Structure 1
Amino acid sequence: MKTIIISVSLFLVTVMGYQLQAQVIQITSKNNIELKIEELQKQKNKIEKLEKDKLREEVEAINERLEDNEITATEAAVLKREAAEKRALNIQNQMNIIDENIALLQRNAKDVEGEDGEETQEIDEYYTSLEFLRYDKKNDVRKDYDSIPDRTRSEVLVAFGLNHSLIDDVSLSDSPYELGGSRFFEIGYGWQTILNKAGSIRFNYGFSVQMNGIKAKDNRYFVEDEDQTILEEYPYQLDKAKLNVYNLVLPVHFEFGKATTQYNSESAYYNLDHFKVGLGAYAGLNLGAKQKLKYEENGENKKEKIKEDYNVEKFIYGLSGYIGYGDWMLYAKYDLNTLFKDNPVEQHNVSLGVRVSL
């Protein structure tokens, strides 16, 4: 009897030992699998960071080539997109491999637990959407690769300076008009459209209101004599006799100059703050003319404004151009039409001044 009891006890101890050993092996295997899954998850973060760093280096190299004028802005955008697509595929392929390994380890973890064991805690699925960014080291701003510079922009234009009327076969020294006292002013609204990939050729167009003034000298003023406009001596001492001609014109210019692509928080744009030259023409209609007189009568200062036709040409057309840097330019324009349409000697208005883009 004693022998039987001892034998049964030894059998029970052996069975319990096997069960304990199996539980230890199961726990150890489960912990190892969880550690491996955790390490794989960390590898995904390292891969994503590594590929982003490589992409940034490639974009910086492309920007340097763009600044050195080795490639155009459009070519740079294509190269950046290709680099981004390559890095995206690299990340996606490596992520897929890691996800397959994680799925395999999760299945093995369930097998280790057995039918009666509790399932291993489900691993949260790791999703990542890598947003590729355009990086511009000069301005330290970023923008998605779908942004391209706008090719058309608008601007307000203001011009002012000296004005004169050139008379055929009459030199400036013999001119009846004051050179320094005659001025012009122009204000308009226009658009600018980029014509080529590099942005170095632009087409400018819009509308402007011009005021061209010519000031008579030698105490003379402007008088309509039937179908002509002539100068006559004024009966009182004149301080000023100035004829202002108002026109509405449609100017067009082809502009040439360097352009660089820049980025801000909202969009990409062409930076045109460089040396530039514009050549073009204008055409429009005369809006009217007005003469301003300032004189002294019986010791009293008087002012007078006379609005007449003055036989001014109704259709206006001419040539214009500018040269400068950024928004400030030296500006000149010349009317091909005559100032007074029926005068026997032709006169052409000419202006020289400053043109500012606002």
Structure 2
Amino acid sequence: MKTITFYVAGLLCLLATKVLGQETKPATFEERAKEISKNIETITKQQKDSLKIEVESVNVKLDNKEITAEQAEAQKQQYAEKRATNIETKVAVEQAKLDQLVKDKVDGKVAYNDRKKHKIAFITYERGDDDEDSTKVSVQRYDYKRTTSQFVFALGINRLMTDGKVDTANFEDRSDFYEWGVAWNTRIFDNNNLLHFKYGLSLQYNNLRPKDDKIFVTDGDKTLLVDSGRNLDKVRLRYVNLVVPMHLEFDFTPKKVNGDKVYYPIQKGFRLGVGGYAGVNVKEKQILKYKNDNGNRVRDKTKGDFNVNDFAYGLSAYVGYRDISVYAKYDLQPVFNNNDIDQNNFSLGLRFDFN
């Protein structure tokens, strides 16, 4: 009878704890980061869908000869700039939320999932043969969580490749990239820590910096690199891709044994990841800095369509120790849509995966 009483009491306490915890427990870091990523994806899709509708309406007017081809092109450019501005403004709000979320986590103001999870401890009360009470306590634990969430940040250099060779004639060595996002790491096998599947959502910021005072200009559906006619202090074309990266990760962290229990920690040793990514372009702009004829410093920012490919997909890999890796990625799609010569972006840098 005493055994049953203690068992029922333990279950009631557990149920009360769960109910109260669900009512008062704040959203975890992973849940809030996932919500922000979903918001960014929704914003991008809504604006691009709206742009398609607006462009179709212009095409209908053009077919009905209500406007000229030049007017149609001007209206399309106007709509594209408006939607690009909307994406940039709305995504910036979500990015600020994510920056604050990361800061709050560092400051200990936001909850995050514990990497260990325990089973229920049941207390049984039994009477021994010597007429004295004896208590048996049993505590069982789960292994390290099979799926964990991470914050990913990477930065490094960009190089445009033409026919397998780096274009050093037109672009500076300072061309660069950075990437940030969230990822989930899942151990594939129950009793082996070697193979993991890593997937997530990231924003890739790619910067191209031409040499010799050249700038990017559009000529119809092509993008050309021409002399600006100015002495430029800085020129940069930035295009941003929202991608879903997926990697097969080899984690050489050894398992841990504690008595009869086996644990599988991650990112405590050498790691190797191979895979790729796919997604969409969300914005592009060119920034120029120079002095005008009066000697005043000018910062000229042009947003819009530089014919950067709407879709992004490529191969990526990383190798490193613990949370830091050497990271490389290669865009299989050309940077510009309809140029006579295809140029693909290659990036090399450092990657940080924070649990």
Indicate the TM-score class for this superposition, using the shorter chain for normalisation: 0.5 to 0.7
> Residues 240-279 of structure 1: matches in 2 within 5 Å?
240-261=234-255, 270-279=265-274
Partner in structure 2 of residue 290 of structure 1: 285
> Residues 60-71 of structure 1: matches in 2 within 5 Å?
none
The whole-number CA distance in structure 1 between the counterparts of 2:264 and 2:205 is 34
1:166 aligns with 2:125: no
Partner in structure 1 of residue 143 of structure 2: 148
> Residues 311-326 of structure 1: matches in 2 within 5 Å?
311-326=307-322
Among 181, 189, 197, the residue aligned to 1:188: 181
Among 341, 344, 355, the residue aligned to 2:337: 341
Match of 2:136, as an amino acid?
S
CA contact (8 A) 2:160 2:166 kept: no
SS in 2 for 1:222: strand
1:129 aligns with 2:136: yes
Q: How much does 1:130 deviate?
A: 4.2
> Residues 37-56 of structure 1: matches in 2 within 5 Å?
none
TM-score (norm 1): 0.59
Q: CA RMSD in A?
A: 2.2
Q: Deviations over 1:9-56 (max 9, x none)?
A: xxxxxxxxxxxxxxxxxxxxxxxxxxxxxxxxxxxxxxxxxxxxxxxx
CA contact (8 A) 1:149 1:261 kept: no
The whole-number CA distance in structure 1 between the counterparts of 2:185 and 2:137 is 36
SS in 2 for 1:177: coil
The whole-number CA distance in structure 2 between the counterparts of 1:331 and 1:158 is 11
Among 195, 200, 204, the residue aligned to 1:206: 200
Q: How much does 1:269 deviate?
A: 5.5
Match of 2:133, as an amino acid?
Y
Match of 2:326, as an amino acid?
L
Partner in structure 2 of residue 300 of structure 1: 296
Q: How much does 1:168 deviate?
A: 2.7
The whole-number CA distance in structure 2 between the counterparts of 1:147 and 1:268 is 8
Match of 1:129, as an amino acid?
K
Q: Deviations over 1:264-319 (max 9, x none)?
A: 9xx96524210110000000000021101011112221111101210010011000
| Rg larger in structure | 1
The whole-number CA distance in structure 1 between the counterparts of 2:285 and 2:270 is 38
SS in 2 for 1:331: strand
SS in 2 for 1:128: strand
SS in 2 for 1:340: coil
Match of 2:328, as an amino acid?
A
Q: How much does 1:164 deviate?
A: 1.7
| Runs of 5+ consecutive residues of structure 2 not aligned to the other structure | 1-125
The whole-number CA distance in structure 1 between the counterparts of 2:265 and 2:349 is 27
Closer/same/farther in 2, CA of residues 317 and 350 from structure 1, 3 Å limit: same
SS in 1 for 2:265: strand
CA contact (8 A) 2:314 2:332 kept: yes
SS in 1 for 2:133: coil
Among 226, 229, 235, the residue aligned to 2:223: 229
Q: How much does 1:343 deviate?
A: 0.1
Q: How much does 1:254 deviate?
A: 0.3
Partner in structure 1 of residue 352 of structure 2: 356
> Residues 82-93 of structure 1: matches in 2 within 5 Å?
none
Match of 1:128, as an amino acid?
T
Q: How much does 1:169 deviate?
A: 6.8
| Runs of 5+ consecutive residues of structure 1 not aligned to the other structure | 1-91, 103-122, 132-143
CA contact (8 A) 2:328 2:348 kept: yes
Runs of 4 or more consecutive aligned structure 1 residues displaced over 6 Å after TM superposition: none
Q: Deviations over 1:84-133 (max 9, x none)?
A: xxxxxxxx9xx96xx1xx4xxxxxxxxxxxxxxxxxxxx6x3222143xx
The whole-number CA distance in structure 1 between the counterparts of 2:335 and 2:141 is 53
Closer/same/farther in 2, CA of residues 344 and 169 from structure 1, 3 Å limit: farther
Q: How much does 1:171 deviate?
A: 4.7
The whole-number CA distance in structure 1 between the counterparts of 2:140 and 2:284 is 54
Q: How much does 1:165 deviate?
A: 1.4
The whole-number CA distance in structure 2 between the counterparts of 1:291 and 1:229 is 12
Task: Give the total of aligned pairs.
Answer: 224
Q: How much does 1:258 deviate?
A: 1.6
TM-score (norm 2): 0.60
Partner in structure 1 of residue 306 of structure 2: 310
Q: Deviations over 1:127-166 (max 9, x none)?
A: 22143xxxxxxxxxxxx43422210000000000111211
